[in-house]
Structure 1
Amino acid sequence: MRILVVGAGAIGGYFGGRLMEKGEDVTFLVREKRKQQLDQDGLVIESVYGDLKLKPKTLLSGENAGSFDVILVSTKSYQLNGAMESFRSYVSENTMILPLLNGYAYLDKLLSEFGEERVLGGLCFIEATLDSSGKILQTSPAHDLVFGERSGEKTERILKLQDSFSGTKASFTLSENIEQEMWNKYLFITTVAGITSLFRSPIGPILEQEHGLKTIQKLLNETAAIMKEIKAPIDINIEETQLKRIIGLSYGMKSSLQRDMEKQQPTEADHFFGYFLQHAAEKGIEAPVLSAIYANLTVYGAGLLPLK
């Protein structure tokens, strides 16, 4: 299969690199600066599962390359509009679009632009970052990508994609219930990103504090209550499950949103927390911890210098 990875950042670069390592036909759609970096230094990954240095195929938006069988989208949610324009010409009638974005609101944009039949469900769990030299640093055991038809069907095309994704050093898993898994992850990542950005700390020191743990529990309960009110397909005992998972995280674990703040970059505050607070207001649900997190990120965002 011809695979197009939109961007070569921490997530797309890592999973695309593992597919390249296996021998799959992978191309990275990048901007000029990243293309120059990759042409000069290669795609460099330092990982607990083994380091890689690869010479990737790259593509600039607008260049002629025909259509691709699958397009893997792993941009920030606020970059989605620009990303869609960059890969639109590489979409054909049979192209599968696999988004790995945070949140859920982005899905409506993709469906509106490309149609129900082209958009798969997807998510990933990975702690990775891009350093100043363009190197991808993958630092914890989790490097999981989950995908599937949003209907849950095992279609011919999704089984073909499963075959392409199999046999890599990363974990690619076909799900028959991807919608539920996406919402479950949304709860998890909202809690972890929210709490680490609020406390400006890795998860370990927060869990050690009595009131830190209580705040995590309150945030889980607030977010799950909103999800249940809007009929999201989450697990029945999701709060308990996710709390156990959070408690089991490595001591120094940081969310990608927290890392963005440390780099003085924009965050996905609206896509994580603004989305839920809008629904909470419509349903008359009090969400004080979510509100505090959103206010914290809004104040932070207002202080950022305009991007050049």
Structure 2
Amino acid sequence: MNISIVGAGALGSYFGVRWSKAGANVQFIVREKRAAQLQDNGLKINSMNGDDQIENPVIVTDPTQAAPADIIVVSVKGYHLESVIDTLEKLVDAHTYILPILNGVKHYDVLTNHFGKKKVLGGLANIIATLDDNGHVKHTSKIDEIRFGPLDEGQIEICEQLAEISAAANMTSVYSDKILTDIWYKYMFITAFSGITTVSNMEIGELLVHEETKDIIQQLLHEMRQIAFCEKVDLTVQHLEKAWKTLYSLPASATSSMHQDYRKGLHVELEHLQGAAIELASKHQLDIPHLKTIYGILKAKISL
């Protein structure tokens, strides 16, 4: 299988290396700065699940020079998606599918509007990883799941092919026939988790001690579930229970990637997550006071 990675940060690099070692032909579509780093240092994974590396990764800076791909994995942050559309247009051909593993759901409208619904697969990633100063991947937990599935009947074959190569890779891969529900479950969870940790500037252990903050989390989950219902996605009571089980399973020092980015003074995915949820709620005339409060406070904080 031929796989192109657009967005060779921690996520794209991690899964790209794992696929490459499993026998896939992987090329990394990157900008000049990242290309120089990869050429100088290669690409290495330092992981609790086993280290790995590619000494000479296939690097492409001009998308018109890229080899044809069966699947293009898009792993940029939500706020960078528009900036890679031109790159994707140069990469996509009649036989190519796009697999986005971004947070949220807003990017599906962007991608399907540009490339059509038949081209865009459903996907998400659950992994905690960063890049070190050499551009190598630091994977700091055992969680390294990529989950994907068809959003159209015509995508089943390519998803089965991806499942086959992924099964041979040293990572957790899940072919899901309910990928839209999976995407919305993660959207519900991460919007609540990122919102409460970032607005409070607190880690999850501190937040779960107090009934008042637990109630806010519950209301955020409930409001996201309401939005999902209106979008014809059935998030059940079991999904809420799973979210709470996940929160309590995290180390007390755990926090969201949005909170980490906020602490570092970096751009955060506020519009892609909470902002997009508010837009959907407005479309359906839903009352979502907790989401709006989180969004409003964070909007003010990041503008300072």
Give the TM-score of the pair, scaled to structure 2.
0.93
Gaps of 5+ in 1: 304-308
Alignment RMSD (CA, Å)? 1.9
Aligned-pair CA distance for 1:63: 4.4
Equivalent position of 1:99 in the other structure: 100
Gaps of 5+ in 2: none
Equivalent position of 2:260 in the other structure: 259
Tell me, in whole angstroms, the C-alpha distance in 2 between the residues paired with 1:190 and 1:205. Answer: 18
Matches within 5 A, 1:101-250: 101-151=102-152, 155-250=156-251
CA contact (8 A) 1:152 1:175 kept: no
CA contact (8 A) 1:61 1:87 kept: no
How has the CA–CA distance of structure 1 residues 209 and 141 changed in structure 2, closer, same or farther, with 3 Å as cutoff? farther
For structure 1, which segment, 170-179 or 48-57, has the greater mean C-alpha deviation from structure 2 after superposition?
48-57
How has the CA–CA distance of structure 1 residues 21 and 201 changed in structure 2, closer, same or farther, with 3 Å as cutoff? farther
Aligned-pair CA distance for 1:265: 1.3
Matched, 1:291 2:272: no
Aligned-pair CA distance for 1:238: 2.4
- The code of the aligned residue for 1:234 comes to L
CA contact (8 A) 2:20 2:26 kept: yes
Matched, 1:9 2:13: no
Aligned-pair CA distance for 1:205: 1.9
Aligned-pair CA distance for 1:241: 2.5
3-state SS, counterpart of residue 117 of structure 1: helix
Q: How many residues are matched?
A: 303
- The code of the aligned residue for 1:54 comes to I
- The code of the aligned residue for 2:80 comes to Q
CA contact (8 A) 2:29 2:63 kept: no
Matches within 5 A, 1:19-30: 19-30=19-30
How has the CA–CA distance of structure 1 residues 28 and 154 changed in structure 2, closer, same or farther, with 3 Å as cutoff? closer
Aligned-pair CA distance for 1:133: 3.6
Tell me, in whole angstroms, the C-alpha distance in 1 between the residues paired with 2:203 and 2:289. Answer: 22
**Could you report, residue by residue, the CA deviation over 1:175-194 in whole angstroms, capped at 9, with x for unpaired residues?**
11111111111111111111
Tell me, in whole angstroms, the C-alpha distance in 1 between the residues paired with 2:119 and 2:267. Answer: 29
For structure 1, which segment, 193-202 or 148-157, has the greater mean C-alpha deviation from structure 2 after superposition?
148-157
Aligned-pair CA distance for 1:153: 7.2
For structure 1, which segment, 11-20 or 200-209, has the greater mean C-alpha deviation from structure 2 after superposition?
200-209
Tell me, in whole angstroms, the C-alpha distance in 1 between the residues paired with 2:228 and 2:196. Answer: 18
- The code of the aligned residue for 1:231 comes to K
Equivalent position of 2:51 in the other structure: 51
How has the CA–CA distance of structure 1 residues 239 and 203 changed in structure 2, closer, same or farther, with 3 Å as cutoff? same
Give the TM-score of the pair, scaled to structure 1.
0.92
